[in-house]
Structure 1
């Protein structure tokens, strides 16, 4: 193939993926599922904050969603490397359908207390812990390696679509039909996602029968995964450090949005939906741009992350320092924050998929998930406390500084030698 043809293909292959049967169905199912998630996220966070008036208690929802990856992530990775990824994703979506349905049912029977809501969110997050690593492990089994950055950017765009449409519809749904109907829509979205995955062809070359999986020494397999991440491959370990810093900041920022709406701007759930949608617009634009541009080499990709994160950190600091914020200006800043911070995971995921042997993908992604979720827990609790005890503005400035630190560390990582791992 001529050099010119290669350049054109690299710039357009991401868009062509959407028209393939396998990746197209995967993308469609995830888009619907993420819209459902966006609906329920606004409903759950607004319900807790309105009930308690505490940013710290509101962030308990986020903390409950981070505990299962933190506790069960490495163990899940061991078995995920041996099970068919397609089957795992279908089962998880069906189980999530059932757990989410229980929330509006309890609400309908007037038995949905804060404690019971926490329990149901925790149960749903346990099964949801499996889906993300399964999806990340399945992507390189569906698309070519040269398309990994585009594929991951398009997968992330489904999250962006969910952030863009879900919260706006969720805020409107809360005001018009109530929280129970909003959550019913989320359950239906999970079910549709399972239906979309069924016809997808996923290449699984490392599948072990059930009894063989159960008889495999867990400690040995865990050690193999940890050794690859923390010792064997320096780039993977360096990216792990940036992931910890990134999640410390960005998870806290997302869960601070209801506080920004109610305490800083003094607006209601409908405007909160608009703010969340502004975040989604920026994220979606960045993901679509990332799917279009050529993948590039390692240093260019990681350096690009650093530049964008620096801009995002400055934007978050500005949001906290504005004395008399206006809704329109705040939405613009949040859109910039969404766009500059959302380039991180598609690039990092593609790099991990490139350098990780196929039989270790599950363990590597669950290890990253565990580290990221642990960092998210610290960030949400710490910045939530700062918002309650000091001020929301101080919390936002702290988040912005954390993003700037992430950018500095990422610049250092981009200067390291790139050495792909051997299988």
Structure 2
């Protein structure tokens, strides 16, 4: 008998793995919906306040929710049923995002509502993302992890091609609030899909953990994940390097939207088209990353990805033209996706299954810790000095991060 995810049997090809197919499809649809909010929420804030700093504040609040949830997300993922946890997270986000159009359509514009909605939704997003990442090895075989991540990322990229363009069109025709409503509906579809699949149980877990059940077990569990990151040289290196990357990049989507709307004088439809076209870079990266990793290894692929990001961002700051901004966004999306697939696959491969939630949450919590501050700093700098200087500074900083990475184990092609 062949099992879809057993490491001791011949694995079922991904195209015949029913559970992975459903999981892949519903997450792609959910990503399509999320791309609506990616465009719609900043546009709601910009339309209501005209302030890029307020856009950065929303992004900062979301980042703070991500960091706060990292304190318990990994412990939850390693202690409870991962599928049920994802279902509850989707239900919570459905209700949160549905609240925005309900209030807007019945009581008028209330920008203040966006702050708690986005902050709380970010908590459930973080828990869901950790569970989703940890669930991949429970659906596919070990040797299929990179291929599965690449397929997921390619489909996510396709969603972000179609989603922002569709969101821009919906926002232009029916308003950004309608685009948020679409996002809420897709969470409901994701719930239905998750109800139809099953995951292999995680090996190990609380039953094998001698500290389980003690009052301090949650904190000790979290510390276990962070210690594993620190004691694994390659994981330690990418965790430390991702911290400044997130600080610099968390507010970039807001800056690109502001750049196109304010400096270049383009409408909502162009904003959606720009973000959608940029996602072509994500699709290309998702398709080629498995081959690149096999050829050069994880470290060189990760460093090359962020080298491309740095050059692209600096170019967007140096040259004042919509085409240059478009190309920069495409290259940035390409680099972010290649680096993300590579780091996720490495983490899923080297981490024991019963630790995967805690290690993933610890990784994201550490490198997201300064992201909200970075978003506020970047958008405030843009508000006071314009987009050009800050973008050049971010691009140069990315190049400095790559140079620092060459002094770590990431430089070795053996880091696969």
TM-score by length of 1: 0.88
User: In the TM superposition, what are the counterparts of 1:224-373 in structure 2 within 5 Å?
Assistant: 224-230=224-230, 232-291=231-290, 293=291, 295-296=293-294, 300-323=297-320, 325=321, 327-373=322-368
| 1:417 Cα deviation after fit | 9.4
1:72 matched to 2:74: no
Find 2:148's aligned residue among 131, 147, 151: 151
Contact 1:175 1:270 in 2 (8 A): yes
Distance in structure 2 (CA, Å) of the matches to 1:208 and 1:294: 37
Over 3 Å counting, the alpha-carbon distance change for 1:184 and 1:14 in structure 2 is farther
1:9 is aligned to none
Contact 2:312 2:327 in 1 (8 A): no
2:411 is aligned to 415
- Unmatched 5+ stretches in structure 2: 1-9
Distance in structure 1 (CA, Å) of the matches to 2:264 and 2:169: 18
1:3 is aligned to none
Over 3 Å counting, the alpha-carbon distance change for 1:77 and 1:341 in structure 2 is closer
| 1:14 Cα deviation after fit | 13
| 1:19 Cα deviation after fit | 4.3
Paired positions, count:
401
Out of 215-224 and 360-369, give the one that drifted further: 215-224
Distance in structure 1 (CA, Å) of the matches to 2:406 and 2:297: 10
Alpha-carbon deviations, 1:192-230, whole Å to 9, x = none? 111112222211134658xx9665622322222222222
1:50 is aligned to 47
Contact 1:149 1:295 in 2 (8 A): no
Contact 1:31 1:159 in 2 (8 A): yes
- Unmatched 5+ stretches in structure 1: 1-12
Contact 1:79 1:213 in 2 (8 A): no
Distance in structure 1 (CA, Å) of the matches to 2:27 and 2:11: 16
* 2:79 counterpart SS class: coil
User: In the TM superposition, what are the counterparts of 1:6-25 in structure 2 within 5 Å?
Assistant: 17-25=14-22
Over 3 Å counting, the alpha-carbon distance change for 1:15 and 1:62 in structure 2 is farther
Alpha-carbon deviations, 1:111-148, whole Å to 9, x = none? 44121221222222222221010011111111122222
* 2:370 counterpart SS class: helix
Distance in structure 1 (CA, Å) of the matches to 2:383 and 2:196: 48
Aligned-CA RMSD value: 2.5
2:3 is aligned to none
Find 2:395's aligned residue among 394, 400, 420: 400
| 1:39 Cα deviation after fit | 0.8
